[in-house]
Amino acid sequence: MNNTKQEQEFEDFKTELRKIIQKAEPIVKEIGESIGQKAEKILGNMTGELNSSVNTIFQRTKEGGKKVDQYVKENPWLIALVALSIGFIAGLLMTSKKKE
């Protein structure tokens, strides 16, 4: 008899739990949809900002490259001297490390 009472109480509990789940299901779906819409909006904003940043970086890099190109064309001997100096210093550093 005791088992039957426990089984009935368990069945009653399951029934109540099903009712609660049925009532909560639409609310959970609505919350999920709302969160999904907000997430899409945030992702769209982030994507737009990222694209804008990439375009800005690309444009600035292009402008910087043009300025460097112009400077090199205007000062070829200075650039050659700088490159030669860097090569000479690198050679000295490499030679001094070999001696140690």
Q: Which of 49, 63, 42 minimizes the C-alpha distance to 71?
A: 63
| Mean pLDDT on 41-60 | 88
CA distance 58 to 52: 10
How many other C-beta atoms lie within 10 A of the C-beta of residue 79?
14
Q: Which of 42, 41, 61 minimizes the C-alpha distance to 53?
A: 61
| Mean pLDDT on 89-97 | 85
| Mean pLDDT on 43-60 | 88
pTM listed for this prediction: 0.46
- Checking if the pLDDT of 1 tops 80, the result is no
Radius of gyration of the chain (CA): 36
**Mean confidence (pLDDT) of the chain:** 86
pLDDT in tens, 54-71: 899 999 999 999 998 898
pLDDT of amino acid 96: 73
